[in-house]
């Protein structure tokens, strides 16, 4: 295959969730080639994720997300010849970068756009046989004879990071309460469960003796603040945690309630089960939760799915796929996870 000192380049610009799901592939490469140099190209805003990823020797961060930034990346990477180049994104920009670099072997991620389109158009029987996105990445390493990793625990947070997060929680009044996290945001508005429903879940859990942690990016801080609504047992750290700190916060949480969004994958990467609320997207697209204790909450509707990634506005203007999911059902799913987890302590009234 490759020599012990081979050089491997992996290209994946975005998004955060996809980068997390790609980590088993990186782990497989590292386990099979412990002395090889593994380099990753990604956008600068996601570089922080790799502070919790063992086995990546070098990060190349795309700081300018335009043709200038891509040209600079080409100039930087053309200094080397790679034994293996993996285009784990398979978009115009990653294909262009791949074409301009030297490598003995180049492999590209397989996508299933046609199957997704058939599902969206309602031809479900034709669109059978979907694989998870994790397995789609691992098909790349399968093709070069690299064994799959035994564990899907993907992120390894440091003691220092966990201590930093614990201090932030203590400052905000966590006390000795068990932590349950909520991520109410999503890249697209059409993928967000109503904030009043998240508020009902947060207040119910706080009333049962849990500390509720709201997580998200800076743009979601105001949303999280409205959900918190001055409840002293709900902590809003949206926009105040870096990616690896968010991973550490989720690691010490009992579970996460989330939309179909990046925090869902981040939580499962540190072995924290999720209650994932799906609206316009569906399990068959390959991005659903995979941990045994995780639960996907959705409603079967004729109009689902309506787009590949949830970016299209509801054509009926109702978002019924999400608004029809009540908070009681989500709370029941949270209770089931907590009852099933080892070492559960029930919340008090």
Q: For the segment 144-194, what is each residue's pLDDT rounded down to a tens digit?
A: 999 998 766 678 899 999 999 999 999 999 999 999 999 999 999 999 999
- 49-53, 202-206, 251-255, 335-339: lowest mean pLDDT where? 49-53
Q: For the segment 102-158, what is each residue's pLDDT rounded down to a tens digit?
A: 999 999 998 876 677 777 777 565 556 678 999 999 999 999 999 998 766 678 899
Q: Find where tokens 């309460």 sit.
A: 177
Torsion of CA 198, 204, 205, 211, to 10 degrees: 90
Ordered by where they begin, the domains of the chain are: 7-142 (3.40.50.2000), 159-340 (3.40.50.2000)
pLDDT of residue 65: 83
pLDDT of residue 66: 85
Q: For the segment 9-48, what is each residue's pLDDT rounded down to a tens digit?
A: 999 999 999 999 999 999 999 999 999 999 999 999 999 9
Q: Are 24 and 154 in contact (CB under 8 A)?
A: yes
The pLDDT-based confidence of 255 (bands split at 50, 70, 90) is very high
| Residue 80: how many other CB atoms lie within 10 Å | 13
pTM score: 0.93
């Amino acid at each position: 295959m490759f020599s012990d000192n081979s050089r491997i380049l992996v290209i994946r610009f975005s998004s955060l969730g996809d980068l997390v799901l790609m980590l088993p592939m990186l782990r497989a490469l590292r386990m099979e080639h412990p002395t090889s140099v593994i380099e990753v190209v990604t956008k600068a805003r996601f570089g922080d994720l790799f502070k919790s990823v063992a086995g990546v020797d070098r990060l190349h961060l795309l700081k300018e997300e335009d043709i200038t930034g891509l040209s600079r990346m080409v100039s930087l990477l053309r200094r080397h010849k790679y034994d293996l180049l993996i285009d784990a994104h398979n978009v115009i920009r990653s294909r262009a970068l791949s074409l301009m670099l030297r490598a003995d072997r180049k492999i590209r991620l397989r996508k299933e756009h046609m199957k997704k389109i058939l599902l969206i158009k309602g031809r479900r029987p034709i669109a059978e046989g979907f694989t998870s996105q994790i397995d789609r990445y691992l098909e790349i390493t399968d093709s070069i004879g690299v064994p799959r990793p035994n564990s899907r625990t993907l992120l390894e947070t440091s003691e220092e990071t966990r201590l930093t997060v614990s201090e932030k929680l203590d400052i905000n009044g966590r006390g000795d309460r068990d932590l349950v996290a909520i991520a109410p945001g999503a890249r697209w508005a059409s993928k967000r469960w109503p904030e009043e429903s998240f508020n009902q879940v947060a207040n119910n859990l706080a009333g049962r003796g849990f500390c509720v942690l709201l997580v998200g990016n800076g743009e979601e801080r105001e949303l999280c603040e409205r959900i918190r609504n001055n409840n002293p047992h709900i902590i809003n750290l949206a926009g105040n945690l870096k990616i690896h700190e968010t991973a550490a916060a989720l690691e010490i949480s009992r579970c996460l309630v989330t939309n179909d969004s990046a925090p869902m994958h981040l939580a499962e990467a540190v072995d924290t089960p999720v209650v994932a609320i799906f609206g316009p997207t569906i399990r068959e697209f390959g991005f659903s939760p995979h941990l045994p204790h995780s639960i996907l909450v959705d409603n079967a509707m004729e109009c689902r799915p309506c787009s590949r990634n949830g970016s299209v506005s509801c054509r009926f203007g109702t978002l019924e796929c999400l608004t029809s999911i009540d908070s009681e059902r989500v709370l029941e799913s949270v209770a089931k996870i907590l009852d099933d987890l080892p070492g559960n302590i029930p919340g008090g009234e």
